[in-house]
Each structure stands twice: as C-alpha cells, then as structure tokens.
Amino acid sequence: NFMLTQPHSVSESPGKTVTISCTRSSGSIASNYVQWYQQRPGSAPTTVIYEDNQRPSGVPDRFSGSIDSSSNSASLTISGLKTEDEADYYCQSYDSSNVVFGGGTKLTVL
Amino acid sequence: QVQLVQSGAEVKKPGASVKVSCKASGYTFTSYGISWVRQAPGQGLEWMGWISAYNGNTNYAQKLQGRVTMTTDTSTSTAYMELRSLRSDDTAVYYCARDRQQLVLSDFDYWGQGTLVTVSS
C-alpha cells in the first residue's frame, strides 16, 4: 500500500496564496486521481477538488489542484485567502483495492 | 437532493459489536458505491472499506479484515457497517460516503453527518 504525506500545518494571511502538498510514497501520483477535502470542526468533509484538478459546483475558483510527476506529488492551491478557508484539508487517492487519505493539513488564516 | 442520514450515537463496552446505518435518498442507490470512513478524536480520516450497492461486492481495509462487515438493503436504500470485538481505539466518528463510481473504488461526493461510537467500560 502507498501512503500520502501532507504537512501538518500551514498558515498565511488573508488575501494571500497558500499551497498544500501531498506526496505519494510509492507508485505514480498520476496513476490514480487525487481528491482534496475540506473539513471544518464538527462537520463532515466536503470535496473542494476531485480528479486532480476539477472543482465541484459551488466551490470558488480560488481553489485549484494539480499534480507533479517529477516530485510524485499533488498540490492544492488556495488564492485570495479568506478567514472562512481556515479548516483541515485532506488529500485522498486510491488503487484497485485500497483508498488512502493523507494525514491532513491544518490551514490557519491569520 | 442527495442525502445520507446516519443512525445515532452509540456507547458500547469493549468486546461488543456496533452496527451503524446510512439511509440514502435523492438518487438511484444501486448506481453508486458506499464507503465507510472513521475519524478518531483529534485524528485524521481513515478509510474502512467499500461496498458496491449494485452487486454487494466489498473491499475492506486490511487492518479491519475479520472485524468489519458492510451490507446494503436495496429495498430501503440503506447501507450498514458492523464492527465487532470493539476496542477503546475504535472510539471515533464513523461516516458513510457515496463513491462516485458504481463498481470500483474512487472518490466521495456526498457524506453522511457522522455517527459517534464510544467504546468504554
């Protein structure tokens, strides 16, 4: 089984841009889609990015996703940060028999 | 609109079993899979397994093999997750989530509200 590694926490000021990384331990990051979920305290996760770089309807275009085969990682970028973006963010991928979540990144907007 | 409504909180003793339900509405139940994901207090998300609502095929996380069973009742559009031989480290919020694919693992587009299971003597 592969693992997905995320930074434990990131912080940035309102209006700025932040990028959260998600590195796959084995196998190609491009072999299966990567998703990103936002989770606020006391709530279920919601999707902000699916299939590497697709935004569900209702998610603002300040959220974008990408993958980089050279570093075998995926990234979630949030531009024009708002205080409401403060939350935990999880990357997720899968293979034929397993679903894997990253450990989560706590985003602080201060 | 798509909704997944889970059963209420449970308190169980070590060694007991728990069965959590997840009632789906607003879509054709058999056109998607259902995964179960848990989150221990202050911890991250852990995938437990998946069931195809179309044919009942399952895929369980290796660490839970032998202790977990996932089933569906297509007549009521309800998915169930039973966890046996409960331990204190099974204390968590348990979520059901709709898989965007019918027959294979994928990602999740709708989630239940979560069910807190507390294991304590």
Confidence at residue B38, expressed as pLDDT on a 0 to 100 scale: 98
Confidence at residue B24, expressed as pLDDT on a 0 to 100 scale: 98
Interchain CB distance below 8 Å, B47 and A100: yes
- Structure-token match 């437990």, residue found: B48
Question: pLDDT at residue B103 above 90?
Answer: no
Cβ-based contacts of A33 with chain B (< 8 Å): 106-107
Nearest to A99 among B44, B105, B113 (CB): B105
Four-point Cα dihedral A60, A18, A82, B44, nearest 10? 90
Alpha-carbon distance of B22 to B3, in angstroms, equals 10
Q: What is the average pLDDT value for chain A, to the nearest integer?
A: 96
Here the contacts of B55-59 (C-beta below 8 Å, separation 24 or greater) are B55/B103, B57/B103, B59/A97, B59/A98, B59/B105
Confidence at residue B40, expressed as pLDDT on a 0 to 100 scale: 98
In sequence order, which residues have a C-beta less than 8 Å from that of residue B99 and are 6 or more positions away? Answer: B32, B33, B34, B35, B50, B105, B106, B107, B108
Confidence at residue A29, expressed as pLDDT on a 0 to 100 scale: 96
Interchain CB distance below 8 Å, B100 and A50: yes
Confidence at residue B106, expressed as pLDDT on a 0 to 100 scale: 86
Cβ-based contacts of B111 with chain A (< 8 Å): 44-46
Nearest to A90 among B44, B105, B113 (CB): B44
Confidence at residue B13, expressed as pLDDT on a 0 to 100 scale: 98
Question: pLDDT at residue A1 above 90?
Answer: no
Cβ-based contacts of A98 with chain B (< 8 Å): 47, 59, 61-62, 105
Amino acid at residue number B8: G
Nearest to A92 among B104, B107, B111 (CB): B107
Tens digit of each residue's pLDDT (9 = 90 or more) over A6-15: 999 999 999 9
Range of weakest confidence among A34-48, B69-83, B95-109:
B95-109
Tens digit of each residue's pLDDT (9 = 90 or more) over A17-33: 999 999 999 999 999 99
**Percentage of chain B modeled with pLDDT above 70:** 100
Interchain CB distance below 8 Å, A46 and B108: no
pLDDT grade for A76, boundaries at 50, 70 and 90: very high
pLDDT grade for A96, boundaries at 50, 70 and 90: confident
